[in-house]
Amino acid sequence: MSQPLVTDSPLWSRDALWAGSALAFPVLFLDKTRALHHANAAACALAEKVQPGAGPQALVGLIADSDWQHAFETGYWKGEVRPDPEHPLMLELHCGQSPDSGHCILVVVDISERGERQRQYEELQRTVQRLATTQEQLLRSEKMASIGQLAAGVAHEINNPIGYVGSNLSTLQEYSTALLGSIASGVERAAG
């Protein structure tokens, strides 16, 4: 991580500057003219990422004049900026300024990873949806296979008695034909 930009400031106490240096996220101490009085190590590192070699003042330059005016009037501004349209870095800037003094604190939050996490979350949601659809199709296939097996079993159970009855009818027909033949020949002999 970069070394913090430390200057003695008539606006900021050493305790305030120390507290800013102890924070893990980028903090810049300014006056109402946007002059940089102090930037912690995280701010220096982010500035190097945004615009190599420009120093933490580059982070101050990310806020438009109209947004600075809003911060001075209301004491607060929050917005997202894209330092370079080609660069994936997304920043959220919180600028608090006291209307009664020349103090201004700029807190910068790198939200680039938020966008990546959101993209990963959306991809995960699509994957879960595809898995749910696949599971539903598998269950449907298993149900159809079970119904097919059941239908085959029912058909087999129906065919067995029909086959048995058909076989018995065939045997009965042969027996009846033989019996009728015997009766007819007995009648012919008796008549004859």
Question: DSSP characters for 19-31?
Answer: HHHH-SS-EEEEE
Structure pTM? Answer: 0.54
φ, ψ at 164 (rounded to 5°): -65, -45
Assign domain 5-110 to a CATH class.
Answer: alpha beta
Q: What is the pLDDT of residue 1?
A: 46
Going from N- to C-terminal start, the domains of the chain cover 5-110, 112-162
Regions of the chain where pLDDT drops below 70: 1-11, 86-90, 97-99
